[in-house]
């Protein structure tokens, strides 16, 4: 049975890394002593070692140890044997490219679907959808496919921002970009605001956090869904 926390972000404004999620993570990973960390997305270009050390500092607060996937000679076996798995945020194009390069996209999906506890933040959440095509990230590398883990039956837009009517910025809003996606794709998209996450248990997908989320469907007006809503029927 799938057991996932899929969070829009790792860090809330003014808080420390994963701080707001630690009470949830303590329960989520309660049966895990060591968590496998996938550092491939490298936010701001930091190294795999630097990113793994950052995750280790946060998880030490709930008495969990972290080991990076890049430290293993056999990444497929490392994922299959993991007690729990965390994929951090950063650049989704880079993350997806590396998952395919290391031949672990399929095994990661299979392992999490079989019940290994999973945490994703930002890019690590984007890959939980059917494709990565609704990421906000720059295409700094070219992945062999946009297809991702398919842990949920829709796509995500993490860090979703509402249009600011007072802003003089003339660039595209997130809503505009999602409409562009729906010109060519029929998959629903969930705009997940900062501090919100999805709690996935089997087929149940519950929106958690203090804020609502925004649902986008092809050829339909966007819809707000309240925290506590079960999104398992969003397909």
Active site positions, annotated: 122, 137, 159
Pairing of strands 197-201, 204-208: antiparallel
State the Cα angle at 156 between 147 and 71, rounded to 5°: 60
Contact 152, 230 (CB under 8 A): no
CA angle 208, 203, 207 (to 5 degrees): 10
Listed residue (117, 109, 57, 61) closest to 84, CA to CA = 117
213's enclosing H/E stretch is strand 213-216
């Amino acid at each position: 049975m799938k057991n996932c926390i899929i969070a829009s972000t790792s860090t809330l404004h003014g808080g420390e890394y994963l701080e707001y999620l630690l009470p949830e993570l303590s329960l989520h990973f309660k049966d895990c002593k060591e968590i496998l960390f996938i550092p491939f997305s490298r936010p701001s270009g930091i190294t795999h070692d630097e990113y793994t050390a950052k995750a280790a500092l946060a998880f030490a607060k709930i008495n969990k140890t972290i080991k990076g996937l890049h430290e293993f000679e056999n990444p497929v076996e490392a994922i299959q044997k993991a007690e729990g798995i965390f994929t951090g945020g950063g650049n989704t194009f880079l993350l997806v490219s590396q998952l395919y390069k290391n031949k672990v996209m399929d095994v990661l999906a299979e392992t999490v679907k079989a019940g290994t506890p999973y945490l994703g933040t930002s890019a690590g959440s984007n890959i939980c959808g059917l494709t990565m095509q609704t990421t906000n990230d720059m295409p700094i590398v070219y992945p062999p496919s946009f297809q991702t883990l398919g842990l949920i039956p829709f796509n995500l837009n993490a860090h979703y921002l509402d249009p600011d009517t007072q802003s003089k910025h003339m660039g595209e809003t997130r809503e505009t970009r999602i409409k562009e996606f729906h010109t060519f794709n029929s998959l629903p998209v969930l705009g997940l605001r900062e501090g919100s996450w999805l709690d996935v248990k089997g087929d149940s997908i519950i929106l958690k956090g203090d804020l609502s989320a925004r649902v986008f469907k092809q050829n339909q007006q966007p819809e707000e869904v309240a925290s506590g809503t079960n999104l398992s029927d969003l397909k």
